[in-house]
Copies of this chain bind each other. A is one copy, B any other.
Amino acid sequence: MSKTDNILSALEAMLFAAGDPVGVAKLAEVLELDIETVTKMLGHLSATYDERNSGLMLIKIDNKYQLCTREAYSDSVRKLLEIKKNAPLSNAAFEVLAIVAYNKTVTRSFIEQVRGVDCSGSIASLVQKGLIEEKGRLDLPGRPLIYGTTDRFLRCFSLNSLDDLPDLPKTEEVEKISGNDGQTSLFDDEKENENDNKSEEAEE
């Protein structure tokens, strides 16, 4: 009996962590049991959820099994998730959003270069909140995704367009200074700008 219990608990743990539907064969393989036994066990598990009217239930789709919440509690679940979504943006998310907005379209690596840290979490959450979206891929090695802001972003910040963003402090001056760093004798002014860009790119 205790062995059966262990198997039921192992199945529960596996289905919980997997999230997605899992095939019986896969479960049987992990537990080193035959498919028939595992199917029977899954039936048991499902029955215990139903018996005690648990908040969870086991559903079967295409011979795959998945744990999910019981419909009776879907109102509570929905309410909770909606409270969660109303959490204000984190500092990190704000900075990522600002970098995307001021540069119009950027890659993840650009954002991370500016901030100096991994930003994948913030980017994913901003995409989920509908504030930024994928705008295609850059024609560079690895074909990195580029991100830009959405209409929802403009609405949340009461902007008509990205041109209405508050001006950045003296960026232009800084650029001018950094653009004049030597090498003037080799190429004429026109070529110089591109030179800067090129070397950045080549270093990547």
Chain B contacts of A26 at CB under 8 A?
80, 83-84
Interface of A: prevailing SS = helix
CB contact under 8 A between A79 and B30, given known A73-B14, A117-B127, A118-B127: yes
Contact across chains for B69 and A30 when beta carbons are under 8 A apart? no
Contact across chains for A9 and B70 when beta carbons are under 8 A apart? yes
Number of residues on chain A facing chain B (CB within 8 A)? 52
Q: Assess whether A13 is interfacial by the CB under 8 Å rule.
A: yes
Interface residues of A (CB under 8 A from B): 5-6, 8-14, 16-18, 20, 22, 26-27, 29-31, 52-56, 67, 69-70, 72-74, 76-77, 79-81, 83-84, 91-92, 115-118, 121, 124, 127-128, 133-134, 136-137, 145
